[in-house]
Chains A and B, each alone.
Chain A
Protein backbone atom coordinates (compact mmCIF):
# COMPACT_ATOMS: atom_id res chain seq x y z
CA UNK A 1 0.00 0.00 0.00
CA UNK A 2 1.20 3.43 -0.77
CA UNK A 3 2.37 5.58 2.09
CA UNK A 4 -0.29 8.13 2.89
CA UNK A 5 1.70 10.98 4.25
CA UNK A 6 -0.62 13.49 5.79
CA UNK A 7 1.26 16.36 7.35
CA UNK A 8 0.63 16.77 11.05
CA UNK A 9 -2.31 14.36 10.94
CA UNK A 10 -1.69 13.12 14.48
CA UNK A 11 -1.06 16.57 15.90
CA UNK A 12 -4.19 18.05 14.36
CA UNK A 13 -6.31 15.07 15.19
CA UNK A 14 -5.15 15.22 18.77
CA UNK A 15 -6.61 18.72 19.07
CA UNK A 16 -9.85 17.61 17.48
CA UNK A 17 -10.29 14.58 19.70
CA UNK A 18 -9.43 16.39 22.91
CA UNK A 19 -12.01 19.03 21.99
CA UNK A 20 -14.80 16.59 21.18
CA UNK A 21 -14.17 14.49 24.26
CA UNK A 22 -14.11 17.63 26.41
CA UNK A 23 -17.49 18.52 25.00
CA UNK A 24 -18.77 15.17 26.18
CA UNK A 25 -17.06 14.94 29.57
CA UNK A 26 -16.40 18.55 30.48
CA UNK A 27 -13.26 20.57 31.17
CA UNK A 28 -12.95 19.05 34.65
CA UNK A 29 -11.71 15.80 33.15
CA UNK A 30 -9.13 17.22 30.78
CA UNK A 31 -6.32 15.11 32.31
CA UNK A 32 -8.08 11.83 31.70
CA UNK A 33 -9.12 12.94 28.23
CA UNK A 34 -5.60 13.90 27.20
CA UNK A 35 -4.21 10.59 28.46
CA UNK A 36 -6.85 8.66 26.56
CA UNK A 37 -6.12 10.56 23.35
CA UNK A 38 -2.38 10.07 23.75
CA UNK A 39 -2.98 6.36 24.18
CA UNK A 40 -4.84 6.24 20.86
CA UNK A 41 -1.84 7.68 19.05
CA UNK A 42 0.57 5.32 20.80
CA UNK A 43 -1.52 2.40 19.59
CA UNK A 44 -1.84 3.80 16.10
CA UNK A 45 1.89 4.46 15.81
CA UNK A 46 2.60 0.79 16.49
CA UNK A 47 -0.28 -0.91 14.72
CA UNK A 48 0.16 1.22 11.59
CA UNK A 49 3.79 0.16 11.20
CA UNK A 50 2.95 -2.70 8.95
CA UNK A 51 0.00 -1.22 7.18
CA UNK A 52 -1.70 2.11 7.35
CA UNK A 53 -5.48 2.18 7.17
CA UNK A 54 -7.01 3.40 3.92
CA UNK A 55 -8.69 6.26 5.74
CA UNK A 56 -6.37 7.24 8.60
CA UNK A 57 -8.59 10.08 9.76
CA UNK A 58 -11.67 7.89 9.96
CA UNK A 59 -9.61 5.29 11.81
CA UNK A 60 -8.51 7.86 14.39
CA UNK A 61 -12.02 9.23 14.83
CA UNK A 62 -13.34 5.73 15.38
CA UNK A 63 -10.60 5.13 17.92
CA UNK A 64 -11.62 8.31 19.73
CA UNK A 65 -15.22 7.13 19.82
CA UNK A 66 -14.07 3.90 21.40
CA UNK A 67 -12.28 5.98 24.01
CA UNK A 68 -15.61 7.44 25.14
CA UNK A 69 -16.50 4.16 26.82
CA UNK A 70 -13.01 3.83 28.31
CA UNK A 71 -13.28 7.26 29.84
CA UNK A 72 -16.72 6.50 31.26
CA UNK A 73 -15.20 3.44 32.89
CA UNK A 74 -12.21 5.34 34.28
CA UNK A 75 -14.42 8.04 35.73
CA UNK A 76 -16.66 5.41 37.27
CA UNK A 77 -13.80 3.63 39.01
CA UNK A 78 -12.60 6.98 40.29
CA UNK A 79 -16.12 7.59 41.58
CA UNK A 80 -16.33 10.86 39.77
CA UNK A 81 -19.77 12.11 39.09
CA UNK A 82 -20.65 11.91 35.45
CA UNK A 83 -23.87 11.33 33.59
CA UNK A 84 -24.61 7.73 32.72
CA UNK A 85 -24.38 6.44 29.24
CA UNK A 86 -27.56 4.50 29.82
CA UNK A 87 -29.77 4.71 26.80
CA UNK A 88 -29.31 4.19 23.14
CA UNK A 89 -30.19 7.81 22.45
CA UNK A 90 -27.19 8.97 24.50
CA UNK A 91 -24.99 6.95 22.22
CA UNK A 92 -26.62 8.50 19.16
CA UNK A 93 -26.12 11.99 20.57
CA UNK A 94 -22.46 11.24 21.23
CA UNK A 95 -22.08 9.80 17.78
CA UNK A 96 -23.36 13.06 16.31
CA UNK A 97 -20.60 14.97 18.07
CA UNK A 98 -18.02 13.20 15.93
CA UNK A 99 -19.37 14.65 12.69
CA UNK A 100 -17.00 17.11 11.00
CA UNK A 101 -19.16 20.12 11.67
CA UNK A 102 -19.49 19.26 15.36
CA UNK A 103 -15.76 18.61 15.66
CA UNK A 104 -15.11 22.11 14.35
CA UNK A 105 -17.62 23.47 16.81
CA UNK A 106 -15.85 21.68 19.67
CA UNK A 107 -12.50 23.06 18.54
CA UNK A 108 -13.87 26.58 18.53
CA UNK A 109 -15.14 26.07 22.06
CA UNK A 110 -11.64 24.97 23.02
CA UNK A 111 -10.08 28.04 21.41
CA UNK A 112 -12.46 30.31 23.28
CA UNK A 113 -11.69 28.49 26.51
CA UNK A 114 -7.94 28.77 25.95
CA UNK A 115 -8.25 32.50 25.27
CA UNK A 116 -10.55 33.26 28.18
CA UNK A 117 -9.70 36.47 30.05
CA UNK A 118 -9.64 34.51 33.32
CA UNK A 119 -6.44 32.91 32.08
CA UNK A 120 -3.11 34.67 32.45
CA UNK A 121 -2.15 36.03 29.01
CA UNK A 122 1.07 33.99 28.99
CA UNK A 123 -0.83 30.82 29.81
CA UNK A 124 -3.24 31.31 26.93
CA UNK A 125 -0.65 30.61 24.23
CA UNK A 126 0.75 27.51 25.93
CA UNK A 127 -2.67 26.13 26.67
CA UNK A 128 -3.86 26.75 23.10
CA UNK A 129 -0.82 25.05 21.62
CA UNK A 130 -1.33 22.09 23.91
CA UNK A 131 -5.06 21.46 23.76
CA UNK A 132 -6.10 22.95 20.43
CA UNK A 133 -2.95 22.28 18.43
CA UNK A 134 -1.73 19.02 19.99
CA UNK A 135 1.82 20.19 20.79
CA UNK A 136 3.69 18.41 23.59
CA UNK A 137 5.17 20.34 26.50
CA UNK A 138 8.60 19.91 24.96
CA UNK A 139 7.44 21.18 21.59
CA UNK A 140 5.84 24.23 23.16
CA UNK A 141 9.00 24.93 25.14
CA UNK A 142 11.18 24.87 22.07
CA UNK A 143 8.65 26.91 20.10
CA UNK A 144 8.54 29.63 22.75
CA UNK A 145 12.24 29.34 23.71
CA UNK A 146 11.34 28.55 27.31
CA UNK A 147 12.10 25.70 29.66
CA UNK A 148 9.93 22.59 29.85
CA UNK A 149 9.30 23.34 33.49
CA UNK A 150 7.99 26.81 32.76
CA UNK A 151 5.52 25.43 30.23
CA UNK A 152 4.39 22.74 32.65
CA UNK A 153 3.72 25.41 35.24
CA UNK A 154 1.78 27.53 32.76
CA UNK A 155 -0.37 24.60 31.72
CA UNK A 156 -1.06 23.73 35.35
CA UNK A 157 -1.96 27.29 36.13
CA UNK A 158 -4.25 27.48 33.10
CA UNK A 159 -6.11 24.38 34.24
CA UNK A 160 -6.42 25.71 37.74
CA UNK A 161 -7.83 28.99 36.45
CA UNK A 162 -10.34 27.06 34.35
CA UNK A 163 -11.47 24.97 37.33
CA UNK A 164 -11.55 27.91 39.67
CA UNK A 165 -13.62 30.07 37.36
CA UNK A 166 -15.70 27.02 36.47
CA UNK A 167 -15.55 27.96 32.81
CA UNK A 168 -18.22 26.65 30.52
CA UNK A 169 -17.05 24.88 27.41
CA UNK A 170 -18.91 27.14 25.03
CA UNK A 171 -18.69 29.79 22.35
CA UNK A 172 -19.74 33.12 23.89
CA UNK A 173 -22.60 35.04 22.36
CA UNK A 174 -23.62 38.64 21.83
CA UNK A 175 -21.46 41.30 23.40
CA UNK A 176 -19.29 38.73 25.16
CA UNK A 177 -18.44 37.20 21.81
CA UNK A 178 -17.15 40.51 20.51
CA UNK A 179 -14.75 40.96 23.42
CA UNK A 180 -13.62 37.37 23.53
CA UNK A 181 -13.02 37.28 19.80
CA UNK A 182 -10.55 40.12 20.36
CA UNK A 183 -8.49 38.02 22.79
CA UNK A 184 -8.69 34.99 20.52
CA UNK A 185 -7.34 37.04 17.63
CA UNK A 186 -4.64 38.48 19.86
CA UNK A 187 -3.50 34.99 20.85
CA UNK A 188 -3.45 33.81 17.23
CA UNK A 189 -1.52 36.93 16.27
CA UNK A 190 1.01 36.25 19.04
CA UNK A 191 1.44 32.61 18.04
CA UNK A 192 2.00 33.75 14.48
CA UNK A 193 4.56 36.34 15.53
CA UNK A 194 6.41 33.79 17.66
CA UNK A 195 6.98 31.98 14.41
CA UNK A 196 7.51 34.93 12.15
CA UNK A 197 9.79 37.19 14.13
CA UNK A 198 12.25 34.91 15.88
CA UNK A 199 15.53 34.17 14.14
CA UNK A 200 16.69 31.99 17.00
CA UNK A 201 14.34 29.22 16.03
CA UNK A 202 14.71 26.57 13.37
CA UNK A 203 12.84 27.21 10.17
CA UNK A 204 10.69 24.14 10.78
CA UNK A 205 9.44 25.35 14.16
CA UNK A 206 8.76 28.78 12.73
CA UNK A 207 6.72 27.32 9.89
CA UNK A 208 4.83 25.14 12.38
CA UNK A 209 3.85 28.10 14.51
CA UNK A 210 2.77 30.26 11.59
CA UNK A 211 0.89 27.32 10.09
CA UNK A 212 -0.92 26.64 13.35
CA UNK A 213 -1.99 30.25 13.76
CA UNK A 214 -3.34 30.22 10.20
CA UNK A 215 -5.16 26.94 10.68
CA UNK A 216 -6.89 28.24 13.79
CA UNK A 217 -7.73 31.48 12.04
CA UNK A 218 -9.33 29.47 9.25
CA UNK A 219 -11.41 27.68 11.85
CA UNK A 220 -12.79 31.04 12.95
CA UNK A 221 -13.61 31.86 9.35
CA UNK A 222 -15.50 28.60 8.89
CA UNK A 223 -17.92 29.40 11.68
CA UNK A 224 -20.73 31.83 10.96
CA UNK A 225 -20.59 33.82 14.18
CA UNK A 226 -16.84 34.32 14.07
CA UNK A 227 -16.59 34.94 10.33
CA UNK A 228 -16.00 38.67 10.60
CA UNK A 229 -14.14 41.24 8.50
CA UNK A 230 -11.34 41.70 11.02
CA UNK A 231 -10.78 37.93 11.15
CA UNK A 232 -10.44 37.99 7.36
CA UNK A 233 -7.97 40.87 7.80
CA UNK A 234 -5.92 38.92 10.33
CA UNK A 235 -5.86 35.94 8.00
CA UNK A 236 -4.81 38.15 5.08
CA UNK A 237 -2.01 39.60 7.21
CA UNK A 238 -0.79 36.09 8.03
CA UNK A 239 -0.89 35.14 4.34
CA UNK A 240 1.15 38.19 3.34
CA UNK A 241 3.76 37.64 6.04
CA UNK A 242 3.96 33.90 5.42
CA UNK A 243 4.64 34.54 1.76
CA UNK A 244 7.97 36.07 2.86
CA UNK A 245 8.83 33.55 5.58
CA UNK A 246 11.40 31.62 3.53
CA UNK A 247 13.19 34.77 2.36
CA UNK A 248 13.48 36.31 5.81
CA UNK A 249 16.74 34.59 6.64
CA UNK A 250 19.76 33.64 4.58
CA UNK A 251 21.48 30.25 4.67
CA UNK A 252 23.32 31.24 7.85
CA UNK A 253 19.97 31.94 9.51
CA UNK A 254 20.77 35.64 9.61
CA UNK A 255 17.83 37.99 9.43
CA UNK A 256 17.53 39.89 6.19
CA UNK A 257 15.68 43.17 6.09
CA UNK A 258 13.22 43.90 3.33
CA UNK A 259 15.93 45.59 1.31
CA UNK A 260 18.08 42.48 1.15
CA UNK A 261 15.47 39.79 0.74
CA UNK A 262 15.38 37.76 -2.43
CA UNK A 263 11.99 38.72 -3.77
CA UNK A 264 11.91 35.80 -6.19
CA UNK A 265 11.59 33.55 -3.14
CA UNK A 266 8.30 35.05 -2.12
CA UNK A 267 5.46 32.59 -2.31
CA UNK A 268 2.90 34.09 -4.63
CA UNK A 269 -0.03 31.70 -4.13
CA UNK A 270 -0.10 32.95 -0.54
CA UNK A 271 -0.04 36.55 -1.75
CA UNK A 272 -3.05 35.80 -3.95
CA UNK A 273 -4.87 34.09 -1.11
CA UNK A 274 -4.10 37.11 1.04
CA UNK A 275 -5.56 39.42 -1.60
CA UNK A 276 -8.75 37.35 -1.78
CA UNK A 277 -9.07 37.48 1.99
CA UNK A 278 -8.40 41.19 1.99
CA UNK A 279 -11.27 41.78 -0.43
CA UNK A 280 -13.60 40.13 2.06
CA UNK A 281 -12.01 41.95 4.97
CA UNK A 282 -12.78 45.40 3.61
CA UNK A 283 -16.51 44.74 3.54
CA UNK A 284 -16.99 46.84 6.66
CA UNK A 285 -17.16 50.43 7.88
CA UNK A 286 -14.83 49.83 10.76
CA UNK A 287 -11.20 48.92 10.11
CA UNK A 288 -9.12 47.14 12.74
CA UNK A 289 -5.39 47.31 13.33
CA UNK A 290 -5.17 44.01 11.45
CA UNK A 291 -6.66 45.73 8.39
CA UNK A 292 -3.94 48.36 8.40
CA UNK A 293 -1.14 45.92 9.14
CA UNK A 294 -2.32 43.73 6.29
CA UNK A 295 -2.50 46.75 3.99
CA UNK A 296 1.08 47.67 4.89
CA UNK A 297 2.30 44.12 4.31
CA UNK A 298 0.47 44.01 0.98
CA UNK A 299 2.06 47.28 -0.10
CA UNK A 300 5.54 45.86 0.52
CA UNK A 301 4.69 42.76 -1.50
CA UNK A 302 3.47 44.86 -4.41
CA UNK A 303 6.88 46.46 -4.97
CA UNK A 304 9.05 44.59 -7.46
CA UNK A 305 12.17 45.89 -5.77
CA UNK A 306 12.90 47.71 -2.55
CA UNK A 307 13.37 50.92 -4.56
CA UNK A 308 9.88 50.53 -6.04
CA UNK A 309 8.23 50.66 -2.63
CA UNK A 310 5.41 53.19 -2.45
CA UNK A 311 6.46 54.85 0.81
CA UNK A 312 3.76 57.53 0.61
CA UNK A 313 1.07 54.93 0.68
CA UNK A 314 2.71 52.99 3.49
CA UNK A 315 2.98 56.19 5.50
CA UNK A 316 -0.76 56.78 5.03
CA UNK A 317 -1.53 53.30 6.39
CA UNK A 318 0.76 53.90 9.35
CA UNK A 319 -1.00 57.15 10.14
CA UNK A 320 -4.31 55.29 10.26
CA UNK A 321 -2.78 52.53 12.34
CA UNK A 322 -1.35 55.10 14.72
CA UNK A 323 -4.80 56.57 15.26
CA UNK A 324 -5.99 53.16 16.47
CA UNK A 325 -2.82 52.30 18.34
CA UNK A 326 -0.95 55.43 19.43
CA UNK A 327 2.33 53.60 20.07
CA UNK A 328 5.75 55.28 19.95
CA UNK A 329 7.15 52.48 17.78
CA UNK A 330 4.74 53.51 15.01
CA UNK A 331 6.05 57.09 15.19
CA UNK A 332 9.59 55.81 14.81
CA UNK A 333 8.56 53.71 11.83
CA UNK A 334 6.98 56.78 10.25
CA UNK A 335 10.21 58.71 10.74
CA UNK A 336 12.13 55.92 9.03
CA UNK A 337 9.64 55.91 6.14
CA UNK A 338 10.18 59.64 5.66
CA UNK A 339 13.92 59.02 5.54
CA UNK A 340 13.38 56.39 2.83
CA UNK A 341 11.39 59.01 0.99
CA UNK A 342 14.14 61.63 1.44
CA UNK A 343 11.62 63.81 3.25
CA UNK A 344 13.95 64.98 6.01
CA UNK A 345 11.72 67.71 7.30
CA UNK A 346 8.86 65.36 8.12
CA UNK A 347 11.32 62.83 9.52
CA UNK A 348 12.62 65.46 11.87
CA UNK A 349 9.12 66.33 13.08
CA UNK A 350 8.45 62.67 13.90
CA UNK A 351 11.74 62.39 15.77
CA UNK A 352 10.74 65.43 17.79
CA UNK A 353 7.55 63.71 18.89
CA UNK A 354 9.50 60.80 20.32
CA UNK A 355 11.00 60.27 23.73
CA UNK A 356 13.52 57.47 23.11
CA UNK A 357 13.02 56.05 26.59
CA UNK A 358 9.42 55.14 25.77
CA UNK A 359 10.77 52.69 23.22
CA UNK A 360 12.45 50.66 25.98
CA UNK A 361 14.64 47.89 24.49
CA UNK A 362 14.11 49.29 21.05
CA UNK A 363 15.72 52.56 22.00
CA UNK A 364 18.73 51.72 19.81
CA UNK A 365 16.47 51.79 16.77
CA UNK A 366 15.69 55.41 17.50
CA UNK A 367 19.37 56.35 17.72
CA UNK A 368 20.18 54.28 14.65
CA UNK A 369 17.47 55.97 12.62
CA UNK A 370 18.43 59.40 13.87
CA UNK A 371 22.05 58.71 12.94
CA UNK A 372 20.85 57.97 9.41
CA UNK A 373 18.94 61.21 9.41
CA UNK A 374 22.01 63.28 10.37
CA UNK A 375 24.12 61.44 7.84
CA UNK A 376 21.62 62.16 5.10
CA UNK A 377 21.51 65.83 6.06
CA UNK A 378 25.33 66.04 6.00
CA UNK A 379 25.80 66.41 9.74
CA UNK A 380 28.46 63.75 10.15
CA UNK A 381 29.40 64.78 13.67
CA UNK A 382 25.88 64.27 15.06
CA UNK A 383 25.50 61.14 12.95
CA UNK A 384 28.55 59.56 14.60
CA UNK A 385 27.40 60.63 18.01
CA UNK A 386 24.03 58.94 17.53
CA UNK A 387 25.32 55.74 15.97
CA UNK A 388 27.62 55.45 18.99
CA UNK A 389 24.56 55.58 21.25
CA UNK A 390 22.77 53.02 19.10
CA UNK A 391 25.73 50.63 19.42
CA UNK A 392 25.71 51.25 23.14
CA UNK A 393 22.07 50.22 23.54
CA UNK A 394 21.74 47.38 21.04
CA UNK A 395 21.45 43.84 22.43
CA UNK A 396 21.32 41.64 19.39
CA UNK A 397 24.79 40.67 18.11
CA UNK A 398 23.85 40.60 14.45
CA UNK A 399 22.39 44.06 14.60
CA UNK A 400 25.39 45.30 16.53
CA UNK A 401 27.70 44.02 13.77
CA UNK A 402 25.58 45.82 11.24
CA UNK A 403 25.81 49.12 13.15
CA UNK A 404 29.58 48.77 13.75
CA UNK A 405 30.14 48.23 10.06
CA UNK A 406 28.22 51.37 9.27
CA UNK A 407 30.11 53.34 11.92
CA UNK A 408 33.48 52.24 10.49
CA UNK A 409 32.47 53.39 7.01
CA UNK A 410 31.40 56.79 8.31
CA UNK A 411 34.61 57.24 10.33
CA UNK A 412 36.55 56.92 7.10
CA UNK A 413 34.77 60.00 5.80
CA UNK A 414 35.93 62.22 8.64
Chain B
Protein backbone atom coordinates (compact mmCIF):
# COMPACT_ATOMS: atom_id res chain seq x y z
CA UNK B 1 0.00 0.00 0.00
CA UNK B 2 1.08 3.56 -0.71
CA UNK B 3 0.10 6.97 0.55
CA UNK B 4 -1.39 9.58 -1.71
CA UNK B 5 -2.38 13.17 -1.34
CA UNK B 6 -5.53 14.55 -2.94
CA UNK B 7 -5.09 18.30 -3.37
CA UNK B 8 -8.21 20.38 -3.93
CA UNK B 9 -7.91 23.34 -6.23
CA UNK B 10 -10.61 25.78 -7.27
CA UNK B 11 -12.44 28.97 -6.45
CA UNK B 12 -12.97 29.88 -2.81
CA UNK B 13 -16.57 29.42 -1.64
CA UNK B 14 -16.67 33.05 -0.51
CA UNK B 15 -16.16 34.20 -4.09
CA UNK B 16 -18.96 32.08 -5.52
CA UNK B 17 -21.89 33.70 -3.74
CA UNK B 18 -23.30 30.46 -2.37
CA UNK B 19 -26.40 30.69 -0.22
CA UNK B 20 -26.57 29.27 3.32
CA UNK B 21 -28.68 26.43 1.95
CA UNK B 22 -26.11 25.59 -0.72
CA UNK B 23 -23.29 25.80 1.79
CA UNK B 24 -25.09 23.37 4.04
CA UNK B 25 -25.66 20.94 1.18
CA UNK B 26 -21.98 21.13 0.17
CA UNK B 27 -20.91 20.57 3.72
CA UNK B 28 -23.14 17.51 3.93
CA UNK B 29 -21.49 16.05 0.84
CA UNK B 30 -17.98 16.70 2.15
CA UNK B 31 -18.96 15.15 5.42
CA UNK B 32 -20.41 12.06 3.74
CA UNK B 33 -17.25 11.65 1.65
CA UNK B 34 -14.93 11.95 4.63
CA UNK B 35 -17.08 9.54 6.57
CA UNK B 36 -16.96 7.02 3.72
CA UNK B 37 -13.16 7.13 3.60
CA UNK B 38 -12.98 6.85 7.36
CA UNK B 39 -15.24 3.81 7.35
CA UNK B 40 -13.06 2.21 4.69
CA UNK B 41 -10.07 2.82 6.97
CA UNK B 42 -8.06 4.61 4.30
CA UNK B 43 -8.08 8.18 5.58
CA UNK B 44 -4.69 9.26 6.91
CA UNK B 45 -5.18 12.98 7.38
CA UNK B 46 -6.28 16.22 5.84
CA UNK B 47 -6.79 19.91 6.40
CA UNK B 48 -8.82 22.77 5.03
CA UNK B 49 -6.96 26.01 4.34
CA UNK B 50 -8.09 29.57 4.88
CA UNK B 51 -8.12 31.75 1.76
CA UNK B 52 -5.42 34.22 2.80
CA UNK B 53 -2.25 33.89 0.83
CA UNK B 54 1.19 35.34 1.51
CA UNK B 55 3.48 34.69 -1.40
CA UNK B 56 7.24 35.09 -1.34
CA UNK B 57 8.97 35.11 -4.69
CA UNK B 58 12.50 35.48 -6.06
CA UNK B 59 15.94 36.21 -4.74
CA UNK B 60 14.76 39.47 -3.28
CA UNK B 61 12.13 37.53 -1.37
CA UNK B 62 9.41 39.80 -2.62
CA UNK B 63 6.34 39.45 -0.45
CA UNK B 64 2.77 39.85 -1.71
CA UNK B 65 -0.42 39.35 0.23
CA UNK B 66 -3.19 38.03 -1.95
CA UNK B 67 -6.82 37.23 -1.51
CA UNK B 68 -8.61 34.34 -3.14
CA UNK B 69 -10.46 36.81 -5.37
CA UNK B 70 -7.17 37.87 -6.96
CA UNK B 71 -6.01 34.32 -7.66
CA UNK B 72 -8.77 32.57 -9.52
CA UNK B 73 -7.70 29.15 -8.36
CA UNK B 74 -6.50 28.40 -4.92
CA UNK B 75 -5.52 25.30 -2.99
CA UNK B 76 -8.40 24.85 -0.59
CA UNK B 77 -7.21 21.79 1.26
CA UNK B 78 -6.02 18.24 1.02
CA UNK B 79 -6.63 14.70 2.20
CA UNK B 80 -4.06 11.96 2.49
CA UNK B 81 -5.28 8.44 1.87
CA UNK B 82 -3.80 5.00 1.72
CA UNK B 83 -4.38 3.11 -1.52
CA UNK B 84 -2.94 0.54 -3.91
CA UNK B 85 -2.27 2.87 -6.83
CA UNK B 86 -3.36 5.98 -8.71
CA UNK B 87 -6.40 4.22 -10.14
CA UNK B 88 -7.67 3.40 -6.67
CA UNK B 89 -7.32 7.04 -5.59
CA UNK B 90 -9.00 8.20 -8.76
CA UNK B 91 -11.90 6.03 -7.73
CA UNK B 92 -11.97 7.60 -4.27
CA UNK B 93 -11.85 11.10 -5.80
CA UNK B 94 -15.08 10.45 -7.70
CA UNK B 95 -17.00 11.64 -4.66
CA UNK B 96 -15.21 15.00 -4.42
CA UNK B 97 -18.20 17.36 -4.02
CA UNK B 98 -17.09 20.46 -5.93
CA UNK B 99 -16.56 19.37 -9.54
CA UNK B 100 -19.71 21.25 -10.49
CA UNK B 101 -18.16 24.47 -9.15
CA UNK B 102 -15.16 24.02 -11.44
CA UNK B 103 -13.06 22.37 -8.74
CA UNK B 104 -10.08 20.16 -9.49
CA UNK B 105 -8.56 17.23 -7.61
CA UNK B 106 -4.87 16.65 -8.08
CA UNK B 107 -3.56 13.26 -6.99
CA UNK B 108 0.07 12.97 -5.94
CA UNK B 109 1.90 10.06 -4.47
CA UNK B 110 3.82 10.68 -1.28
CA UNK B 111 7.45 9.84 -1.82
CA UNK B 112 9.05 7.14 0.28
CA UNK B 113 12.81 7.09 0.72
CA UNK B 114 14.78 3.91 0.94
CA UNK B 115 15.86 3.15 4.42
> Which residues in A have some Cβ–Cβ distance to B below 8 Å?
3, 5, 8-11, 13-14, 38-39, 41-42, 44-50, 52, 134-139
Partner of B20, one of A3, A10, A47, A48: A10
Residues A135 and B27 in contact, CB atoms below 8 Å apart? no
Known: A11-B20, A41-B24. 16 other contacts (CB 8 A): A3-B28, A3-B31, A8-B24, A11-B21, A44-B23, A45-B26, A45-B30, A46-B13, A46-B77, A49-B30, A49-B34, A50-B34, A135-B19, A136-B18, A136-B21, A138-B17
Contacts of B31 in A (CB 8 A): 3, 48-50, 52
Q: Does B2 contact A (CB under 8 A)?
A: no
Q: Which of B20, B35, B48 has the most CB of A within 10 A?
A: B20
Q: Which residues of B contact A (CB under 8 A)?
A: 13-14, 17-24, 26-28, 30-32, 34-35, 46, 48, 76-77
User: CA separation between A38 and B31, bound complex, in Å?
Assistant: 20
Interface pair B17/A134, CB less than 8 Å apart: no
Query: CA separation between A268 and B24, bound complex, in Å?
Result: 30
| Cβ contacts under 8 Å, A3 to chain B | 28, 31-32, 35
In the complex, A135 Cα to B23 Cα: how many Å?
12
Are B48 and A47 interface neighbours, CB within 8 A?
yes
Q: Is the CB of B27 within 8 A of A45?
A: yes
Closest-CB distance, A412 to chain B (whole angstroms): 52
27 A-B residue contacts at CB 8 Å?
A8-B21, A10-B20, A10-B23, A10-B24, A11-B19, A11-B20, A13-B20, A14-B20, A39-B14, A41-B23, A42-B23, A45-B13, A45-B23, A45-B24, A45-B26, A46-B13, A46-B27, A46-B77, A47-B48, A48-B31, A49-B31, A50-B46, A134-B19, A136-B17, A137-B17, A138-B19, A139-B19
Chain A residue nearest in CB terms to B32 = A3
Q: If A3-B32, A39-B14, A50-B46 touch, does A44 touch B19 (CB 8 Å cutoff)?
A: no
Find chain A residues with CB under 8 A from B34 CB.
Answer: 49-50
**How far does the Cβ of B78 sit from chain A's closest Cβ, in whole Å?**
12
Bound Cα distance from A135 to B20, whole angstroms: 7
Specify the chain A residue showing the minimal Cβ separation from B12. Answer: A42
Min CB distance A279 to B, Å, is: 34
Q: Which chain B residue shows the least CB distance to A8?
A: B21
B76 vs chain A, min Cβ distance (A): 8
B40 to chain A, nearest CB (A): 16
Q: What A residues does B77 contact at CB under 8 A?
A: 46
Q: How far is the CB of A304 from chain B (nearest CB, A)?
A: 38
B6 → chain A, closest Cβ, in Å? 13
On chain B, the residues within 8 Å of A38 by CB distance are: 14, 20
Closest chain B residue, CB of each to CB of A1: B35
Residues in chain B near residue A135, CB distance under 8 A: 19, 21
Query: In the complex, which residues of chain B have a beta carbon less than 8 angstroms from the beta carbon of A9?
Result: 24
Q: Which residues of A contact B13 (CB under 8 A)?
A: 42, 45-46
In the docked arrangement, what's the CA distance between A47 and B48, Å?
Answer: 7
Residue of A nearest to B33 (CB): A49
Determine the distance from Cα of A345 to Cα of B13 in the docked complex, in whole angstroms. 65
Assembly CA distance A10 to B22 (angstroms): 9
Contacts of B28 in A (CB 8 A): 3, 5
A135–B24 alpha-carbon span in the complex (Å): 12
Q: Which residue of B lies closest to A48 (CB)?
A: B27
Contacts of B23 in A (CB 8 A): 10, 41-42, 44-45
